[in-house]
Amino acid sequence: MNKIETQAWVLCDGQKSEAWETLFKKETISFDDISETEILVEPLFGGWEANMSHALDRKPLDLCRKRRESKVVLGNSGIVRVLKTGKKVTRIKEGDLCVFFAISHLNRNGCLDTYFAFGYDEPGSVGLLAKQTKVREEQLYLIPENSKVPLHQWSIISLRYITAWSNWKVAKGCLEIVLSRKECPSPHVFGWGGGVALGELLLAKEQGFKTAMIASTDERLEYIKNLGIMPIDRRRFPDLNYDLEKLKLDASYRKKYIASLKIFRDIVNEVTEQEGVSIFIDNIGLPVYSATLRVLGSPAIISTSGWKEGMNLDTIRALECLDRHIHVFTHAGRLSEGEEAIAHAEENNWLPQDNYPIYDWEDIPQLIHDYSDGKISSYYPTFQVNPI
């Protein structure tokens, strides 16, 4: 089989003590030509996702070792242009501009059938940090012709907003089952800071919910406010970082945690007029999980589609039953939900304000430094791979 050669930013295998700067290199790679069911594409814009930084830090996974490959090309969020299609590809043609969605394999219900993600831990996958890669037809959604949305903004839809659409659809549906809008005409929806949570809050605001988002920098708080979402300053409760062992053993830590928890609860009670939060979007995990549960109303939904910090959570089932809390867990989106999200974005301008930087191909290492150092105020850092 013929080989395709292309440039890529590559994460190489190495010792745990080595910094990512010594293992992340730009070089020429090769992969097998497309099969009759595959599509050759060139990425145009990509989004820098948290899982890409996790991969560079090799936490929680060392991808090279998990995949048993000496080199890995990251990148599972962005838009692509189609260069060539296999003989059995029917829906996509050469020259099409598409939103890429990093699903690996689907079951018969259109849900992910494996835990692998393309451009992350799926063996053999070449992510969007390559000038060319090959994908499957079900991983591409056509961008509407003559779209009103600027081309680079579609990279937001690629992973974060399809994920947001799916998670919000389930969370909202659960709330409507247990609490009608007649009983509660304008429920409160809160979210811990993040691009997916922001996408859900924009949907909630559009649908008549009262919305609030927690952030910790002046730039992000102002940005949230300008979107019509109530900003809540995370710095007002700085010690709200749950650690059970420290709570048991460290009196100073316990005192600070309890003080921050009280401030947080007082703020939420004031905003919700003592009613509590009806839907809380929490993609953070363990550090804030206990606090999130404490400010939920009854009934209420806690909804997550990610696990930024702390994959394991402890829940007191009796209390959750008594408070009639529904815990919603989703990941990415179903195949049909990607189409719904794209149509909604096009028709309703479901996109954040365009305030994020676009890094050039050669400047991707600088993007990584800026992201890890907290110098990027945007929730959607973007890089360009090929010219439009």
Is 275 inside any structural domain?
yes
Bond from prior residue into 299 cis (ω within 30 degrees of 0): yes
Distance of alpha carbon 69 from its chain centroid, rounded?
A: 25
Q: Would you state the pLDDT for residue 51?
A: 87
Is 339 inside any structural domain?
no
Whether residue 182 sits in one domain with residue 302: yes
Q: Would you state the pLDDT for residue 312?
A: 81
Report phi then psi at 286, rounded to 5.
-50, -45
Is 364 inside any structural domain?
yes
Whether residue 127 sits in one domain with residue 29: yes
d(CA 33, CA 133): 10
**3-class DSSP string for the chain:** CCEEEEEEEEEECCCCCCCHHHHEEEEEEEEECCCCCEEEEEEEEEECCHHHHHHHHCCCCCHHHHHCCCEEECCCEEEEEEEEECCCCCCCCCCCEEEEECCCCECCCCCECCCCCCCCCCCCCECCCECCEEEEHHHEEECCCCCCCCHHHHHHHHHHHHHHHHHHHHHHHHHHHHCCCCCCCCCEEEEECCHHHHHHHHHHHHCCCEEEEEECCHHHHHHHHHCCCEEEEHHHCCCCCCCHHHHHHCHHHHHHHHHHHHHHHHHHHHHHCCCCEEEEECCCEHHHHHHHHHCEEEEEEEEECCCCECCCCCCCHHHHHHCCEEEEECCCCCHHHHHHHHHHHHHHCCCCCCCCCEECHHHHHHHHHHHHCCCCCCCCCEEECCCC
Range of the domain at 58: 3-142+356-384
Spans of the chain, pLDDT less than 70? 1, 104-107, 109-115, 354-355
Whether residue 322 sits in one domain with residue 194: yes
Taking the CA atoms of the chain, what radius of gyration do you get in angstroms?
22
Whether residue 204 sits in one domain with residue 63: no
Whether residue 209 sits in one domain with residue 119: no
- Total domain count for the chain? 2
Bond from prior residue into 60 cis (ω within 30 degrees of 0): yes
CA-to-CA dists, residue 110 to 144, 162, 167, 239, 279, angstroms:
22, 14, 15, 41, 26
Angle between helix 286-294 and helix 251-272 axes, rounded to 10 deg:
50
Q: Would you state the pLDDT for residue 113?
A: 60
Whether residue 86 sits in one domain with residue 18: yes
CA-to-CA dists, residue 257 to 45, 191, 296, 319, angstroms:
41, 20, 19, 21
Q: Would you state the pLDDT for residue 17?
A: 83
Q: Would you state the pLDDT for residue 331?
A: 86
Q: Would you state the pLDDT for residue 254?
A: 95
Whether residue 190 sits in one domain with residue 43: no
Whether residue 115 sits in one domain with residue 234: no
Q: Would you state the pLDDT for residue 178?
A: 94
Whether residue 250 sits in one domain with residue 179: yes
* Site of tokens 């600070």: 256
The two three-digit tokens of residue 61, written as one number: 């996974």
Report phi then psi at 370, rounded to 5.
-65, -40
Whether residue 170 sits in one domain with residue 138: no
Q: What is the mean pLDDT of the chain?
A: 92
pTM of the model: 0.92
CB atoms inside a 10 Å sphere around CB 266: 13
Is 152 inside any structural domain?
no
CATH number at residue 32: 3.90.180.10
Answer with the one of 329, 348, 371 that is the final residue of a domain: 329
Is 337 inside any structural domain?
no
CATH number at residue 301: 3.40.50.720
Whether residue 219 sits in one domain with residue 263: yes
Angle between helix 162-178 and helix 195-206 axes, rounded to 10 deg:
50
The two three-digit tokens of residue 355, written as one number: 């305030």
Q: Would you state the pLDDT for residue 354?
A: 67
Is 197 inside any structural domain?
yes
Answer with the one of 291, 312, 329 that is the final residue of a domain: 329
Is 349 inside any structural domain?
no
Is 348 inside any structural domain?
no
Sign of the dihedral defined by the CA atoms of residues 117, 122, 125, 128, in that order: positive
Whether residue 310 sits in one domain with residue 183: yes
